[in-house]
Structure 1
Amino acid sequence: MPMTRPTSPDPQRKPVMLTVDDDPAVSRAVARDLRRHYGEANRIVRAESGPDALDTLRQLKLRGETVAMLVADYRMPQMTGIEFLEAAMDLYPAAKRVLLTAYADTHAAIDAINVVDLDHYLLKPWDPPEEKLYPVIDELLDAWRRAPERPIPHTKVIGHRWSARSWEVRDFLARNGLYYTWFASDEPVGEQLLQAAGEDGKRLPVVVTEHGDPLVEPSDAELADTLGLTTTPSQDFYDLIVVGGGPAGLAAAVYGASEGLRTVLIETTATGGQAGQSSKIENYLGFPDGVSGSQLAERARRQAEKFGAELITARTATALEINGPKRTIRFDDGGSIDAHAIIVATGVAYNELTADGCETLKGRGVHYGAAVSIASECEGEEVYVIGGANSAGQAAMYLSREAKSVTIVVRAPSLEASMSHYLIQQIEQRPNITVRTCTEVHCAIGSDYLERLTLIDNRTGQTDDVTCARMFIFIGAAPRTEWLKDVLARDDHGFILTGPDLRNVCGWTLDRPPHHLETSVPGVFVAGDVRSESAKRVAAAVGEGSMAVMLVHRYLAES
């Protein structure tokens, strides 16, 4: 299944016709005659041994190219033509297969029809080709074109449907707008790609780049480096470091860079944050028809880069240090960067469900959040959405397009207290969405993947076993600010205190009061959901991101 914001696949990539013969003169002659007649519509590739030809086919497979025809000489050292064609079938089963034979070897060619499902055998010499070669090849190419293999020149992901890391890789690529096609490791094309990569399927996922380079069980940083995302800051010192790439962080990057600050944004996974995973945001100013979170994030990312902000992906901030007027961010790989000022906009992460079985089945039917890429996988399935906030409602609406049924499970007696009115109305009008109130998940059940849930009514204590293919969890959120606990003042839940909320907090060192979004450390500001008592809405986060930049300017003017 492809994911979009691609660099589009090249529609002009020509099908390959590969010839293999150990006699260089014969090899050149075959290639010459094929190129003369078919070179305009096809790419003619030649090899002079079976092993070399197989290596070429593996490279072509990994690069996503199609092979229309294989022409192999019967008598070759190391590997006969029949042995080559038999091995080649595992990589390109749809390619037409032709064996070149001398008159004395026609019996072998006839035997090959049963061994490798041979399409034709040609006697050498084939002169004149207009009579003995081209009519045969024309007929075979016509047959291939009636059911051609499609080129896949972009990134390919081969993994197991119920592998947690396979889902994480797909989510990383999708959220970063990197085009890919997904193949299950136990399906024919997936098996062919694994064979071409020299893998047996025990180490998954395997990501094959558009250049044909296989990455086995890659980390996010390895994916980012290989696929062209920026992972290293170009400078050691900036005016402004923005930590977090959600709406607040992107707004800060746009306004910081547009107002002349040397600005760098650091993001662990992908720009957009939780909002970037939303299928449709309908209450954001200026988008009366709604906008997907990924579209909003992509536009903001382009806007930030247009003004000169650097966007760094797959780097995790692990420490904040204060050294006089310099503020330092340290990364998990040991690197660091410095700046005059910092805006923390790391948002929040969904709390994990503690019900039995959820941890074991995480990534194998149990998901936190709901990437848009998952919806098509839910066709005909019974899925459950746990949580009653807007993010849960948006996910339920989107999943209901493909799923057989969607059930929203909430502990509260209704959705009114936590979900916007417009979403509640949409949910009520969608026939395949059901809401179960005063209900919680007691346990998740499944062997290799999620199969059932046990729900419990928190009024009566009664339990109910239900069939469930996937469960998407949106329960509460935590700020994940442990890396800042010894530096910045936080509330009892870990959210960062700012401005007036710092009145009763020790540690403020300046004569002036802290600015509205300033933390307990001068020059370090906070925007968005990670701030204590924030509004937890996209528009509020964007507003705070832009406002924080204004306060950074004030701070710099005072310093």
Structure 2
Amino acid sequence: MDKPVILTIDDDPAVLQTISRDLRKQYGSRFRIVRADSGAMALEATQQLKLRGNTVALFLADQRMPGMSGVEFLNQGSEIFPKAKRALLTAYADTNAAIDAINTAQLDYYLLKPWDPPEEKLYPVLDDLLQDWQATFKPVFQGVKVISDRWSPNSHALRDFLSRNQVPYRWLDIESNQEARQLVAYAGEKDNPCLPLVLLPSGEKLVKPTTADLAQQVGMQTEAAKPFYDLVIVGGGPAGLAAAVYGASEGLRTVMIEREAPGGQAGTSSRIENYLGFPVGLSGSDLARRAVTQARRFGVEILTPQEATAIRLEDNYRIITLSDGSEISCHALILAMGVSWRRLTVMGVDQFTGAGVYYGAAQTEAAACKDEDVYVVGGANSAGQAAMYFSKYARKVRMLVRGESLTKSMSQYLIDQIAGTDNIEVMPFHSVVEAKGGDRLEEILVKDSQTGDVKTFKTNSLFIFIGATPSTGWLDGVVQRDERGFLYSGADIPGGMPWPLERDRFLLETNVPGIFAVGDVRHGSVKRVASGVGEGSICVQFVHQHLANV
């Protein structure tokens, strides 16, 4: 954490230098001393400190300054840092103004010039003020700040990206948070606010940034350090992360490409309770954080957000084109892209996506749903985990399930938990047929397939978990896929496909030698975190065997 600030202002250069020297001598080890030679400069400095997430412990201002007096500055400065202590430096002739300022500017103390010796006339007073300030001081958040309204799809995308990539941030709602409006003004966007506005710890502002822009600013790696790797892994879900850990730990130069955030779809799960070794469960984000830390410890390069867009084969090389136009090559490639949430194709849903309609658990939105009615579409484990998570915040969680019950697609432990949660209601044979609202979701129309009745429910929050589809179109013509886009591997590859090598095809190997498929993207895979981790782990052994013959 940065040191708290003592800000001193005086228009006389000699006095300013002297007071700064005395303050630095006594308090420089615990406080940062900032000085300004006018009220206007001090006000600008105060605003910049606020933008950077710093905090001011003490304002020490000279009273007689042209343009803006010390009292006038203290009035304005205390609006930005209301907890800061306020002291006035004044000549004897101005003591009446200082006394009046005790009431008008809530002045804490005034000191007479000269203050020599400071050990007797300056430090004892400031020590008391700073001790009082320290007693109630709560460190301010100094990470990334996102300022927007709740219903901004762009803001949701940025917040979801930061959350899933384990980047600490604070969201400030422009509609309800006074500090958010102040920061917008200090950033120079008051007259024409362009939201979302992102403030970095350095004080730099980003207006409507893309996730790629934000990733670069917060220090994520988006470009590969080398042109060639022993092993390239596309996809950073549990299967890809497991392959990365085992590959790098066994000496392979490894890079992992992830288009959104490490952890994949599993990383959005609010609670995974049936993963071996975690009897009380763990969140998907916690699993992802642990795996990323482990992978980086072994030297894995993780490119995010980055996306593979094309592939071609040249002799023993597999060359991958990335979304920024760059290329990397390898001898062995593991495809672990997982799947993406399937879209709900009913009227109005696309219009409100990111503004009340969300795919996945959207943990970034949970706290905003406090005391509201939340609707969850789907009946598999991901929907059940989300319902349990939202039940901690929402007044009511209704699960809209197209089938007759949860038993066909949900683990029994989750069914039992849902049945024992008072504010969760399961509505079988119900499905959304339309979403309505103005600039955000306001109500949904839900059909009961048994009776044919269509019901209207008021809500601002609809979370959708209706299955998933693979994003494998970029492999067309190279790697064989089934009719739904999942990748064939091993014994599942249809007969008649040519195989150019004398050795047999390895388990998990696709129709192309040296290209493997693991996890949810693989045809016939078990859609569980543990199975993905297992496939990613054992696949590295086949990679070694393939590389031995390259």
For 1:276, the equivalent position in structure 2 comes to 267
Distance 2:294 2:128 in 1: 53
Q: Higher mean Cα deviation, 531-540 or 148-157?
A: 148-157
Equivalent of residue 453 in structure 2, options 462, 466, 470: 462
Equivalent of residue 62 in structure 2, options 57, 69, 73: 73
1:36 CA displacement: 5.8
Equivalent of residue 430 in structure 1, options 421, 424, 427: 421
Distance 2:278 2:233 in 1: 26
Distance 1:103 1:446 in 2: 65
Count of residue pairs the alignment pairs up: 548
Q: Contact (CA 8 Å) 1:90, 1:192: kept in 2 or not? A: no
Q: 1:331 to 1:505 in 2, by over 3 A?
A: farther
Deviations 1:354-378 (A, max 9, x none): 2222212211221111143433332
1:413 CA displacement: 0.8
1:178 CA displacement: 1.6
1:104 CA displacement: 5.8
Equivalent of residue 188 in structure 2, options 198, 216, 221: 198
> Which residue identity does 1:193 align to in structure 2?
L
Q: Contact (CA 8 Å) 1:490, 1:496: kept in 2 or not? A: yes
Distance 2:197 2:230 in 1: 40
Q: Can you give the 5+ residue segments of structure 2 that lack an aligned partner in the other structure?
A: none
1:125 CA displacement: 4.4
2:466 is the alignment partner of 1:475? yes
For 1:6, the equivalent position in structure 2 comes to none
Identity of aligned residues (%): 53
1:138 CA displacement: 6.0
Q: Contact (CA 8 Å) 2:184, 2:193: kept in 1 or not? A: no
Q: Higher mean Cα deviation, 216-225 or 519-528?
A: 216-225
Equivalent of residue 370 in structure 1, options 345, 361, 377: 361
Distance 1:150 1:303 in 2: 31
Q: 1:17 to 1:334 in 2, by over 3 A?
A: same
For 1:169, the equivalent position in structure 2 comes to 158
1:532 CA displacement: 1.5
Q: 1:135 to 1:303 in 2, by over 3 A?
A: closer
Distance 2:346 2:71 in 1: 57
1:468 CA displacement: 1.9
Q: Contact (CA 8 Å) 1:94, 1:149: kept in 2 or not? A: no
Distance 1:528 1:141 in 2: 57
Deviations 1:403-451 (A, max 9, x none): 2111111101111111111111111111111101111012222223223
- 2:154 is paired with a residue whose SS is helix
For 1:7, the equivalent position in structure 2 comes to none
1:197 CA displacement: 2.8
Deviations 1:443-491 (A, max 9, x none): 2222232232221112222111122231111111010112112322211
Distance 1:507 1:83 in 2: 83
For 2:430, the equivalent position in structure 1 comes to 439
Distance 2:115 2:388 in 1: 64
1:103 CA displacement: 5.6
Give the TM-score normalised by structure 2.
Answer: 0.91
Deviations 1:211-234 (A, max 9, x none): 333333222223222222222222
> Which residue identity does 1:282 align to in structure 2?
E
Q: Report 1:26-65 matches (<5 A).
A: 26-35=15-24, 41-65=30-54
> Which residue identity does 1:170 align to in structure 2?
R
Deviations 1:273-322 (A, max 9, x none): 11111121111222222222122222222222233322222111111111
For 2:82, the equivalent position in structure 1 comes to 93
Distance 2:160 2:223 in 1: 22
For 1:416, the equivalent position in structure 2 comes to 407
For 1:218, the equivalent position in structure 2 comes to 209
1:118 CA displacement: 5.2
> Which residue identity does 1:229 align to in structure 2?
M
Q: Contact (CA 8 Å) 1:343, 1:525: kept in 2 or not? A: yes
Q: Report 1:139-538 matches (<5 A).
A: 141=130, 144-145=133-134, 147-148=136-137, 150-186=139-175, 187-200=177-190, 202-504=193-495, 506=497, 508-510=499-501, 514-538=505-529
> Which residue identity does 1:91 align to in structure 2?
I
> Which residue identity does 1:283 align to in structure 2?
N
For 2:542, the equivalent position in structure 1 comes to 551
Q: Higher mean Cα deviation, 392-401 or 209-218?
A: 209-218
1:259 CA displacement: 2.3
- 2:351 is paired with a residue whose SS is coil
Q: Can you give the 5+ residue segments of structure 1 that lack an aligned partner in the other structure?
A: 1-9
Equivalent of residue 23 in structure 1, options 12, 36, 41: 12
Q: 1:35 to 1:511 in 2, by over 3 A?
A: closer
Distance 1:157 1:452 in 2: 27
- 2:383 is paired with a residue whose SS is helix
1:394 CA displacement: 0.8
- 1:402 is paired with a residue whose SS is coil
- 1:245 is paired with a residue whose SS is coil
Distance 1:285 1:190 in 2: 43
1:237 CA displacement: 0.5
Q: 1:130 to 1:338 in 2, by over 3 A?
A: closer
Q: Contact (CA 8 Å) 1:47, 1:53: kept in 2 or not? A: yes
RMSD of aligned Cα (Å): 2.7
Distance 1:329 1:90 in 2: 54
Distance 1:390 1:265 in 2: 27
Q: Contact (CA 8 Å) 2:63, 2:71: kept in 1 or not? A: yes
Distance 2:28 2:324 in 1: 50
> Which residue identity does 1:194 align to in structure 2?
V
Q: Higher mean Cα deviation, 33-42 or 369-378?
A: 33-42
Distance 1:459 1:234 in 2: 58
Q: 1:15 to 1:557 in 2, by over 3 A?
A: closer
Distance 1:338 1:511 in 2: 24
Q: 1:512 to 1:141 in 2, by over 3 A?
A: closer
- 1:451 is paired with a residue whose SS is strand
Q: Contact (CA 8 Å) 2:233, 2:257: kept in 1 or not? A: yes
Q: 1:288 to 1:128 in 2, by over 3 A?
A: closer
Q: Higher mean Cα deviation, 243-252 or 38-47?
A: 38-47
Give the TM-score normalised by structure 1.
Answer: 0.90
1:271 CA displacement: 0.8
> Which residue identity does 1:224 align to in structure 2?
A
Q: 1:143 to 1:444 in 2, by over 3 A?
A: farther
1:554 CA displacement: 2.7
Q: Contact (CA 8 Å) 1:399, 1:406: kept in 2 or not? A: yes
Q: Higher mean Cα deviation, 110-119 or 144-153?
A: 110-119
> Which residue identity does 2:383 align to in structure 1?
A
Distance 1:265 1:139 in 2: 55
- 1:518 is paired with a residue whose SS is coil
Q: Contact (CA 8 Å) 1:266, 1:312: kept in 2 or not? A: yes
Distance 2:27 2:324 in 1: 53
> Which residue identity does 1:288 align to in structure 2?
P
Q: Contact (CA 8 Å) 1:91, 1:196: kept in 2 or not? A: no
> Which residue identity does 1:164 align to in structure 2?
P
Distance 2:321 2:100 in 1: 67
Q: Contact (CA 8 Å) 1:385, 1:392: kept in 2 or not? A: yes
Q: Contact (CA 8 Å) 1:91, 1:193: kept in 2 or not? A: no
- 2:519 is paired with a residue whose SS is coil
Q: Higher mean Cα deviation, 333-342 or 218-227?
A: 218-227
